[in-house]
Amino acid sequence: MGLFDFLKKKPGESTPAGDPTQPTSATGSGAPGSSAGQPGPVPQPAKPAANQAAAPSVAKSASPAASGNTAAAGTPEPKPSIEVVDASGRRVQISREDYRLKVLPDLLKAHGNNPDQLTAVILQALRDGLASEVLPAANRLTVVDKDPERALSVLAVVQRDAGELDSAEATLKELLQKRPNSAAGRVGLGMLADARGDQPKAESLLWEALQLDANHADAVHGWLQLRHRSVGDAGYRAELDKVAALPNAWRAQLWLARHQAQQGQVEAATALWRDVIGRAGNETDALVMVSADLVQLQRHELVQELIVPRFQPGRHHPHVGLALLHHYLNQKNEVAGAALLHQMFLHYGHMVGNELQPFTGEFDRLRLSKLPPPAPMPANPRIGLYRLDRPIWYAGYEDPAWLLPQKQADSKHVLFFGLAVDGQPQLPPGREDELGRLTRSLPLFLAEHAWLSTPHRGAAVLPMAEQGGWAIMGRPWPEEQLVSQVPDAERAATLLVTGVLRVDGDKRRIDLWVYDCGTKQRIGHAATEGTMPELGRMLLQVMAELWPVLGGPQNHKPPVGDEAFWHRYADGLGQQAALVVTQAGGMPKDRLYGERYITQWLQQTALSETRWQPGFWLLGSSLVVLHQLGSQVPKEHARLIAEIFRQSPPNSAFARLAVRPLRACGLEAMWQARRAEIVAAAGNDRVYTDWLARAEAAK
C-alpha cells in the first residue's frame, strides 16, 4: 500500500474504522462499544483519488475515478469535534480546539523520538485537518527517521495540505535526489501537478511511477482516475487493460476484474481473481478488494477457496474479516462465524467493535434456531423463588466477605421481590424483554443499595419457572404466604418488599410495599411513575421514599451518578442476573445468548461513572461467570481489564478482587506480577488472605 493511501480523506471526514494504516487519535488503548441491528454492507476499498485526499466509502463502481474527487472539489469544513480513545477504552468526543491545544502537543512530544509512532500521529492530524499544527513535527521526522523516503513523503503531504505547495514540491524533488527511483516522489509531484491544473504532467509522472512499481497504490489509482476523466466510460476499459498489462501488475487487475464482473463477465473476472490471489494472496489490499467483491456477488464458493485459507486476524485488514463474517452469515455457518467473530474482537474490537457487534445477535439466532424446541410449558407451571443474598456482583468472586460493610448482629434481612406485572400489557415487538428485565432490575438495585447504605442486609428474590427461565407474576405474592416460607427464627428480623408494575401505553407505574414479618403488617409504601427513559429518576425516587422505613437516611441518594447512569446500571444488574442464574443451573446453558452485549453494556456503564466502584466489580463478575460457563468472551476484554488493574492502587477493592477477572481474561501473569504488593497492602487482614487462598484455588 503506497504512502499516499494514508491520506485518502478530506479534513473532517471519517476514516475507515480499523484500518491498521490509519491509526486513531488516542491517549491510550481502545475498547469496543456495543450496537444492535443488522450487520451493515460489506466494506469495500476506499475510492482512490489522484490529486487530493478522497473520502473512503463503499466503492460501488468498478472505476477508481467514480468518487469524483478532483482539484475543483471543495474541501469541507473540519468537524468541530474529534473522537479520541482514552486509556480506559472509552471513545469520547472532544472539541477540535481542545484536541489541538491539549492532546495533539502531548502526543507529538511523547512520540517525538519514535519515527513509526510520530508518523502515525502526524497522519492522524492530517485526517483531522490539522496540517499546519504538525509542520514542525513533520520536519523533525526527517531528522529521526532512518527512512528518508517515508519522512520526506510525509513532510511533502503535510506541506501540501497546509497550502505550501512550493515547499511540498521542493521536498519531493529533494526526495528524488536522494532516491532517484522513488515511485512515491513521482506520485507526490503528480498530485501537485494535478492540483495546479496540469493534468498531462500529472499523468506523465504517475505513469513513470508505475514503471517503477506497477502496484504502487496511489500510482495505480491516481493514473486510472485521471485517464477516466479524460476518456470517460467508453474508453475506460482500454485504460484498465493498459495498466493491468504492466509486468507483475496485480492491483490494476483487481479493478479490471471488478469492471468485468459488473459487465457480466464473471468467468473472466474469476480467472483474474484466482491469478491475483495466487500471486499476491498475502497482500492485505488484494484480500480486502477480492473478499468484498466476492461477497457482494455472493460467490461464496470462491470466498471459501480464495479468502478463508489466507485471512490471518491481527495481520490483515479487518475489512477482510468483516467480509468473511458476512460470508458465514449468508452460509448460515454460525460455528465458523462465531469462532471468527471472537478472533475479530480479540484483534480489532477496539477499532471496529460497532461493526462487529450485530453479528453477535445474528450468530446467536442461528445457533438457537438449530436447537431442539424447548419442552412446552404445562398449563399450570410451578413457580419457585431464586434468592440472591448478596449483591449480584458478588457472583464468581468466591464469597469475598471483606468486600461488604459489616452489619450488626441485630440487623434485619430485607427481601426485595421481583415485581409483578398487572394485567397483560400490549407491548411493541421486542419490548417484552425490556419489561421483564425491569421486574428484576429494580429488586436487584434496591437489594444492593440496602447492603451499602442501610443498617440491614439486602436480598433479591426472583421468580423462576420450574422448567427453567424467568417467570413474571400477574400479581404480587400474598405476604402471608411469603412469611410462611421464612424460617421461624428469622421472621422477627425479616422485612419483605413486594411490588407491582402497571403499564399504560408509554407510562410505567411502580408501587412497593414494606411488610414486617415480625408484626405481620405493612409498615411503608413507595410509588413512582414515568416513561422508560425516566427510569433512573424513578429508581432514585422509590429508594428515597423507602430508606427511612428501612432504617436508612432520609431522602437518600447514591453519592455519585446521575439518573441516566442509574438507569443503565440497574439494567446491567438485570442482565448480569441471567448469567448468574444460568451458571447456577437455573436456566439451560445452551440457550444463553447475548453474553457479548451484556459484558459490553457493563463495560460502558462502568466507564461512564468511574467513581462508582461497584460498576467495575460488576463487570469483573460478569467476566468470571462467563469464564465459568466456558465462554471465550472474557478474553475480548483483556485490554480494558489490564488497564483498570494497572491503574488500581494495591489497597483498592478492584486490585484485591482482580485475581478472578484477570484469570478469566487470560492475564494470570499480570496478577502474579503484583500479587506480593497487593497482599502486603492488605496487611494482616486474615479475612482477605483466607479469601485469596480460596479465590486462587478456584477454577
Q: Which of 605, 592, 674, 682 is nearest to 633 (CA)?
A: 592
Same domain, residue pair 591 and 685: no
Residue 459 β-bridge partners? 415
| Residues 622, 602 contacting (CB under 8 angstroms) | yes
Angstrom distance (rounded) from CA 696 to CA 698? 6
Whether 671 maps to a domain, the answer reads: yes
Same domain, 544 and 665: no
Residues 423 and 535 placed together within one structural domain of the fold? yes
* pLDDT for residue 428: 64
Given this model, what pLDDT does residue 54 score? 26
Count of structural domains within the chain: 2
- Looking at the domain assignment, is residue 317 inside a domain? no
User: By the 8 A CB rule, do 25 and 96 touch?
Assistant: no
Does 681 reside within a domain?
A: yes
C-alpha closest to that of 573 among 556, 598, 593, 591: 598
472 and 548 share a domain? yes
Closest CA relative to residue 349, chosen from 632, 77, 614 = 632
Task: Out of 605, 620, 653, pick the residue that ends a domain.
Answer: 605
Q: How far, in Å, CA of 510 to CA of 501, rounded?
A: 5
Supply the DSSP symbol for 524. Answer: E
Bridge partners, residue 512, by sequence: 499, 526
My answer on whether 496 and 597 are in the same domain is yes
CB atoms inside a 10 Å sphere around CB 666: 15
Residue 140 falls inside a structural domain:
no
Element (H, E) at 413: strand 413-417
At position 71, the amino acid (one-letter code) is A
- Say what the pLDDT of residue 49 is: 34
pLDDT at residue number 438: 93
Q: Are strands 457-465 and 413-417 parallel, antiparallel or unpaired?
A: parallel
Q: Is residue 214 part of a domain?
A: no
Residue 392 falls inside a structural domain: yes
pLDDT score of 427 = 65
What does the DSSP 8-state code read for residue 48? P
In what helix (H) or strand (E) does residue 504 lie, and over which residues does it extend? strand 494-504
Give the list of residues 6+ apart from residue 72 with CB closer than 8 angstroms, or none.
none
Mean pLDDT by runs of 10 across the 699 residues of the chain is 31 32 27 48 49 28 42 50 66 82 91 94 91 95 94 94 94 95 95 93 96 95 94 94 96 96 94 96 94 95 97 96 97 97 94 91 95 80 89 96 92 96 72 85 97 96 86 88 89 95 92 96 96 96 96 92 97 96 90 93 95 97 97 95 96 97 97 97 93 94
Q: Is residue 469 part of a domain?
A: yes
Residues 514 and 586 in one domain: yes
Same domain assignment for residues 501 and 644: no
87, part of any domain: no
One domain for residues 389 and 501: yes
- Please tell me whether residues 545 and 688 are part of one structural domain: no
The rounded distance, in Å, linking the Cα atoms of 388 and 462 is: 8
Domain harbouring 508, CATH code: 3.40.50.10070
659/575 same-domain check: no
Q: Is the dihedral of CA 690, 693, 697, 699 positive or negative?
A: positive
Q: Using alpha carbons only, what angle is made at residue 172 by residues 166 and 178, rounded to the nearest 5 degrees?
A: 140
Rounded distance, CA 376 to CA 380, Å?
Answer: 11
Same-domain pairing of 553 and 691: no
The domain containing residue 686 runs over which residues? Answer: 632-699
Torsion of CA 81, 85, 87, 92, to 10 degrees: 50
586, 605, 624 - which closes a domain: 605
Task: Tell whether 436 and 535 lie within a shared domain.
Answer: yes
Grid look-up 524533488 returns: 173
Cell (9 digits) for 587: 436456566
Pairing mode, strands 457-465 and 383-388: antiparallel
φ, ψ for residue 662, nearest 5 deg: -60, -45
